[in-house]
Structures are given as structure tokens and as C-alpha cells.
């Protein structure tokens, strides 16, 4: 299978008539790398027979995360849609690595947009080249999308901030070198860079998850964790706004990841339906299986168009928060439907084989993470009602 | 050390479709750098790393072939020369004449590297013809190349043995895929490859007085290969013996 598919190529031609050759060269190379280095080990990451660190580092060194960032900091300076397409491809190759890389790049996005020039020069080249791994720490044991209620604090002590509190369900925790941390100061939620190791920084055990088993997820604990005042990102008290802005972009990326998961489940289903025989013929000849295949394909294509649409609005500089949320809600719920159909088409083998049901398990995270479907529907409705006034 | 590497922009055999008569649909077919050519490029880059010098990519192809040339440049080659002609419409002799002319124009080279064959047609005829055209020694199917001074020690992978040949340089050497693992260009290298020099020349410019080729390709047909679909039934020790007998009678295994 070609991870960078004819459908992707056509979208590049439609959206970027002047540059699609160049973008397709980059994505073709990336797809070839994923087919050879990521896709074959994906089942082993799910079962724990392989570890994420090696392939993730190779992917970062290959340049996956450089795509949307400025050449000034070691990026490729390509459009966000090209990066989103690459994320979809990585979702097809392996969802766990994709989740880890997506979080890493959300930190790079935050630094790129809200960090000082000193912070960008210090951190971005290392993050984009794969020499450092980053983690985004916002969610707490008792707060999620309601960032204003966070309990983690950052108290100014001389020329330092002292951060105390804990963060929950943190991807890349314990593996990352760099943590983008949201904590309350006297002026409100603020954003800090915390470099590991730090005596005030510790981690819980790797949480047992339903899916995304290749990536590490745990609690991050800050106990009088001291950082220089220069590690404050942007302005004190603006952390909640920064988090929202970072998450809007990340929602497009999560949508792309889910389209990728759905794509691999669909491709396995088509191949299985062709070769599985029942009543003397291939089950792909039965109308009810064909209905499933038709619906799966239609929904995947719709999800892809939604995340591309949101990406293009982001590139234009206009408000894209509603479109990003629409793409995320649709694509995450769609991938669950597609993966469920994939299990149904595979019958008993679908229910009993990690290699197939892991896609449903992986997809299941993402109607929850980075804004639940419920919260995002509130956001979409609020934004659309405001637009129509 | 100056090395010329011959690269073909080939039909992507993994995406090739056939019509109802089983013939390959070449018009509009997906294309890519010929798979084994990446091994030749990789070997040239390794030799350059040990001996310093320059790696030049030479291609006979339409302007679309620049895609494959860019891939080779992204891997680390220094520059490219494209002879603007359609290799699918010509047979191997004309292709080797044009490659040889482009190589002579850029001479002197210490080594000319090719893949054993292209991943689409796989005739394996161009490398030996190239040796003949250039008047250079030709060593085919190399699985290891060591260069020392003005000679190359080449291990050839033959069907049931390995042959070691020492050839004076310059020479033409074709490589097999086991010789190395081609590197992946990083995304930055891919973006930067477009800035490396790519020279485009016409066949007439490098072969003055070029006349029509004495032979040309009229078309291509796929050869139908019917499977025998033999099924052995019975307990495993009996069916295994039947399978061995059948393979021996087909000449796959020695009797």
C-alpha cells in the first residue's frame, strides 16, 4: 500500500496548483519512510514487543516535524495542510507514534507563536531536528478543557518561578526533555518551559490504557519545581488564551490522525472482504458488506476534506476554531464507526485479533483527548451562533 | 574520485495496471526512480565518502525524469545531466549510446555505476552495452566494490558462487540490490535537491549526426503465465514428499 495515496496527491494538486510537485515529493519520501520504518513495527508497539523511542527519533530526524515551521529555526516553511497530510499518513502507519509526535509539535507550535525570540532560537532547532522531545502539560486530575480552574501554581521567588501541582494523562511524560507547563500565577493561568531533569519534576507510572499503547502516558508532578523567570512563555496571565490557540491547531491534527487510523482499518477490511469466502463466494460480493465499504470510504473522504478545509482557513489567518472543532468531532467519531465496521467485516477474527481491533482501541482515545466531543460541540455552536448575529 | 551513476525514471511496477487483454497500460502510468538504481547511487556516495570526489547522475528521459534525478540528488549526489529523450520508445542500444555520449562529454570519470537492470523492463542489457560503447571494462552484478588506487576489486554474486574480479579503472560496474541499503534523504535534503545543478542536453547535442535508431520498441505485451494450481492432499509427510517430487520434476530442485 502507498501511504501517500492518489487521493492525497489530488488534494495537493487542487489546493496548491503552483507548488504541488514540491509538496508531493516531500510527502512521497515521508510515506516511503513510514512504509519501511514505521508500519511494520506498528503491531509490536501495541503489544509492547517494540519500543517507541527508536522509530520516533528516526521519524523526527527524517524531518516530520520540520514541515510547518520557519526555515529560520530549522523548519521547511511548508503550509500547515502539508503537515496535516503528513500526520494523516503517520496515523495510518502507527497511531501511537503519531500521538506522541503530534503532542511534541503542539509544543513547538506554542513556542513558535508565543515564545520570545530567545526561546525560539534556544528550543525550536532542537525540537524540529529530533534532538529534543517535548510534552504538553495542561490537563489536571480535576480539570481538563476548563483550564481556568487549574490547581497547579507558579509562584515568583526572586528571579525564579516555583511550580507546584500535578498534571494528568500527559503524553510523552518521563520521556520528554522539555515540558510546556500551564500553571496559575497571581495574574492567572500562565505558560512555562520546564527542562528535564529538574529536582522538582517527577513522574507517575505508565498508565494502562485501552489503546495508543505504544506511547507513554502518566502523571507529571511538580514539587517546588524551580525555573528561571526567562522560562515564562509570553505574558503572565495569558496562558489560557495560549492553550486555546495551540489546541485549535492541534484539533485539526487530531482529525488528520483519525482519518489515518480509519484509512488503515478500511484498507484491511477491503482486502479481507475480497479474500474471505462465504456461501461459495467472496463476502465483498454481498450487498450488506458493500454498503459498509461504501459508507466507510465516503466518511473517510469527508473527514479528510474537513481537516483540509480547516487547515486552509488556518493558513489564511482567519478564525478557524469552529472548523477545527468540526473536523475533530467528525473525524474522531467517524474513525470509531469505520473501525467498528472493520471489526464487523472481519467477524470473529476482528474481535479476537490485536492487529485489527487495535485500530478501534487507538481511535477511542480521541473523542476524549484534546477537547471532548461534548465540549467541542458547545464551542462550535457558540461560535456559529455568534457568527450569525 | 569522479563517479557517474546511470539512473532511470521508470514505470512504477507496483502500480502498473493491465488492460483486458493483459497488456501493460503504460500511458499515464505512475513513475518513480528505478528501485535498484538507488543502490547504485548509494554505492557511489559511499565510495565518495571514502575517497572524496564527485557523484554525477546521468539519465536518459523526458523532463519528468527530473523527479528521479532530484531523488538521487537528495540522497547526496552533486549534480545531474538529463539527456532529453523518451527511453520507453527506444531499445537498449540507443539508450546506452546516449548514456555513453553524456558520460564522454562529462569525462573523465573513474567509475561508471549502474544497477543490474531497471525495475520496469529489467533487460539488464544497458550496463554491458555501456562498457562496450565507452571501451571500458565491464563487471556485472557486484555485491561489493573496493577501490584502491587505479583498480577496483569487485565481488560478483553469481547463481551458485561468488566471483572476485579486479578491474582497472575507469570501469563500468553494475550492482545488485544486496550491495547496500540505500539511505533515505531527509525532508530538508529533498527540499534542497532542487537547488543542485541539473543540466539538460538534447541527444543531437551530444551525438552529432544522430540518425534514426536501427531498432525501436513498437509495443509491449505481457506474457501470460498460467498457474498449475496443483493441490496435494493427504497427511503432511506424504504431501511433503509429493511436493518435493513435483518441484524436482519441474527442475526447481535437483533430482
CA distance B43 to chain A (A): 20
* B241: contact with A, CB 8 A cutoff: no
What is the pLDDT at residue A359? 98
What is the pLDDT at residue A389? 81
Pairing, β A160-171 against β B151-157: unpaired
| Residue linked to cell 494538486 | A13
Cβ contact A269:A300 at 8 Å:
no
CA torsion sign for B86, B91, B96, B97 is negative
In this model, does residue B41 exceed pLDDT 90? yes
Q: Which residues of chain A lie closer than 8 angstroms to B66, CB-CB? A: none
The fold for domain B2-206 equals Rossmann fold (3.40.50)
> Sorting pLDDT into bands at 50, 70 and 90, what band is B60?
very high
Strand partners, B201: B83
What is the pLDDT at residue B30? 82
Query: Which structural domains are found in chain A, ordered by start?
Result: 6-132 (1.10.540.10), 135-237 (2.40.110.10), 240-387 (1.20.140.10)
Cβ contact A53:A105 at 8 Å:
no
Mean pLDDT, contiguous 10-residue spans, chain A (389 residues):
91 95 93 96 97 97 96 97 98 98 97 97 97 96 82 97 97 97 96 98 96 97 98 97 96 98 98 96 97 98 98 97 98 98 97 95 96 96 92
Chain B residue with minimum CA distance to A74: B188
Calculate the alpha carbon distances from A241 to A230, A261, A291, A385, B156 in Å.
20, 30, 44, 21, 65
Q: What is the ipTM of this complex?
A: 0.86
> Sorting pLDDT into bands at 50, 70 and 90, what band is B226?
confident
Alpha helices in chain A (DSSP H): 6-15, 20-33, 42-47, 53-62, 80-93, 95-114, 117-129, 239-275, 287-316, 321-346, 348-352, 354-364, 373-387
Residues of A within an 8 Å Cβ radius of B: 2, 21-22, 25-26, 29-30, 32-33, 61-64, 66-67, 76
In this model, does residue B225 exceed pLDDT 80? no
Q: Which residues of chain A lie closer than 8 angstroms to B191, CB-CB? A: 22, 26, 76
In this model, does residue B145 exceed pLDDT 90? yes
What is the pLDDT at residue A9? 94
In this model, does residue B214 exceed pLDDT 80? no
Pairing, β A134-137 against β A178-185: parallel
In this model, does residue B165 exceed pLDDT 90? yes
Count Cβ–Cβ pairs < 8 Å, chain A vs chain B.
Answer: 35
Say how far apart CA B220 and CA B85 lie, in whole Å. Answer: 19
In this model, does residue B215 exceed pLDDT 80? no
In this model, does residue B58 exceed pLDDT 90? yes
CA angle B182, B101, B208 (to 5 degrees): 150
Q: Which residues of chain B lie closer than 8 angstroms to A32, CB-CB? A: 184
Chain B residue with minimum CA distance to A30: B187
Chain B residue with minimum CA distance to A86: B187
* B17: contact with A, CB 8 A cutoff: no
Chain A residue with minimum CA distance to B32: A28
Which among A21, A25, A63 has CB closest to B188?
Answer: A63
- Tens digits of per-residue pLDDT, B68-91? 999 999 999 999 999 999 877 788
In this model, does residue B247 exceed pLDDT 80? yes
Do residue B187 and residue A76 have CB atoms under 8 angstroms apart?
yes
CA distance B67 to chain A (A): 8
Cα Rg of chain B (Å, integer): 21
Do residue A26 and residue B188 have CB atoms under 8 angstroms apart?
no
Catalytic residues of A: 370
Say how far apart CA B237 and CA A169 lie, in whole Å. Answer: 55
Say how far apart CA A253 and CA A242 lie, in whole Å. Answer: 17
Do residue B67 and residue A25 have CB atoms under 8 angstroms apart?
yes
How does DSSP assign A312-335, residue by residue? HHHHHTS--HHHHHHHHHHHHHHH
> How do the domains of chain B map onto residue ranges?
2-206, 225-255
Pairing, β B151-157 against β B31-33: unpaired
* B64: contact with A, CB 8 A cutoff: no
What is the pLDDT at residue B20? 81
Amino acid at each position: 500500500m502507498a501511504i501517500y495515496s492518489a487521493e492525497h496527491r489530488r488534494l495537493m494538486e487542487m489546493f496548491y496548483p503552483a507548488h504541488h510537485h514540491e509538496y508531493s515529493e516531500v510527502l512521497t519520501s515521508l510515506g516511503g519512510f513510514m512504509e519501511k520504518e514505521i508500519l511494520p513495527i506498528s503491531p509490536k508497539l501495541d503489544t509492547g514487543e517494540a519500543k517507541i523511542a527508536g522509530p520516533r527519533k528516526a521519524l523526527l530526524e527524517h524531518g516530520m516535524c520540520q514541515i510547518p515551521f520557519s526555515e529560520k529555526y530549522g523548519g521547511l516553511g511548508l503550509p500547515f495542510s502539508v503537515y496535516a497530510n503528513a500526520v494523516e499518513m503517520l496515523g495510518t502507519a502507527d497511531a501511537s507514534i503519531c500521538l506522541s509526535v503530534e503532542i511534541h509539535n503542539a509544543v513547538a507550535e506554542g513556542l513558535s507563536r508565543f515564545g520570545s525570540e530567545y526561546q525560539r532560537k534556544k528550543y525550536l532547532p532542537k525540537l524540529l531536528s529530533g534532538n529534543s522531545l517535548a510534552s504538553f502539560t495542561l490537563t489536571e486530575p480535576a480539570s481538563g478543557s476548563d483550564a481556568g480552574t487549574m490547581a497547579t501554581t507558579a509562584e515568583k521567588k526572586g528571579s525564579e518561578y516555583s511550580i507546584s501541582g500535578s498534571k494528568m494523562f500527559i503524553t510523552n511524560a518521563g520521556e520528554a526533555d522539555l515540558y510546556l507547563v500551564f500553571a496559575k500565577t497571581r495574574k492567572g493561568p500562565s505558560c512555562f518551559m520546564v527542562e528535564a531533569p529538574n529536582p522538582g519534576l517527577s513522574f507517575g507510572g505508565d498508565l494502562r490504557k485501552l489503546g495508543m499503547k505504544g506511547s507513554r502516558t502518566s502523571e507529571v508532578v511538580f514539587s517546588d519545581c524551580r525555573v528561571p523567570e526567562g522560562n515564562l512563555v509570553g505574558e503572565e496571565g495569558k496562558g489560557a488564551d495560549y492553550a486555546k490557540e495551540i489546541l485549535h491547531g492541534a484539533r485539526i491534527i487530531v482529525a488528520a490522525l483519525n482519518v489515518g487510523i480509519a484509512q488503515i482499518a478500511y484498507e484491511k477490511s477491503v482486502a479481507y472482504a475480497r479474500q474471505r469466502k462465504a456461501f461459495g463466494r467472496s463476502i465483498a460480493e454481498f450487498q450488506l458488506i458493500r454498503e459498509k465499504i461504501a459508507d466507510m470510504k465516503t466518511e473517510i473522504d469527508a473527514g479528510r476534506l474537513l481537516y483540509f478545509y480547516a487547515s486552509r482557513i488556518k493558513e489564511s489567518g482567519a478564525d478557524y476554531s469552529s472548523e477545527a472543532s468540526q473536523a475533530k468531532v467528525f473525524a474522531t467519531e467517524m474513525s470509531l464507526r469505520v473501525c467498528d465496521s472493520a471489526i464487523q467485516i472481519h467477524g470473529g477474527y476482528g474481535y479476537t485479533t490485536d492487529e485489527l481491533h487495535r485500530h478501534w482501541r487507538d481511535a477511542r482515545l480521541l473523542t476524549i483527548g484534546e477537547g471532548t466531543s461534548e465540549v467541542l460541540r458547545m464551542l462550535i455552536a457558540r461560535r456559529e451562533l455568534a457568527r450569525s448575529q | 574520485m569522479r563517479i557517474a551513476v546511470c539512473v532511470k525514471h521508470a514505470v512504477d511496477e507496483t502500480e502498473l495496471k493491465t488492460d483486458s487483454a493483459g497488456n501493460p497500460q503504460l500511458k499515464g502510468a505512475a513513475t518513480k526512480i528505478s528501485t535498484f538504481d538507488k543502490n547504485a547511487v548509494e554505492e557511489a556516495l559511499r565510495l565518495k565518502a571514502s575517497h572524496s570526489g564527485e557523484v554525477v547522475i546521468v539519465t536518459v528521459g523526458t523532463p519528468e525524469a527530473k523527479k528521479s534525478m532530484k531523488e538521487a540528488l537528495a540522497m547526496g549526489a552533486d549534480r545531474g545531466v538529463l539527456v532529453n529523450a523518451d527511453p520507453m520508445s527506444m531499445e537498449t542500444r540507443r539508450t546506452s549510446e546516449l548514456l555513453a555520449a553524456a558520460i564522454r562529454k562529462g569525462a573523465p570519470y573513474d567509475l561508471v555505476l549502474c544497477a543490474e537492470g531497471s525495475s520496469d523492463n529489467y533487460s539488464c542489457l544497458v550496463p554491458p552495452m555501456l562498457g562496450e560503447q565507452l571501451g571500458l571494462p565491464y563487471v556485472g552484478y557486484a555485491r561489493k566494490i573496493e577501490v584502491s588506487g587505479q583498480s577496483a576489486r569487485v565481488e560478483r554474486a553469481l547463481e551458485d558462487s561468488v566471483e572476485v574480479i579486479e578491474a582497472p579503472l575507469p570501469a563500468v560496474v553494475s550492482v545488485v540490490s544486496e550491495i547496500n541499503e540505500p539511505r533515505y534523504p531527509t525532508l530538508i535534503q529533498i527540499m534542497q535537491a532542487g537547488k543542485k545543478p541539473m543540466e539538460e542536453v538534447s541527444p543531437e547535442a551530444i551525438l552529432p549526426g544522430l540518425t534514426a535508431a536501427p531498432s525501436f520498441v513498437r509495443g509491449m505485451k505481457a506474457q501470460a503465465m498460467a498457474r498449475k494450481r496443483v493441490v496435494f492432499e493427504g497427511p503432511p509427510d506424504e504431501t511433503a514428499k509429493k511436493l518435493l517430487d513435483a518441484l524436482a520434476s519441474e527442475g526447481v530442485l535437483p533430482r
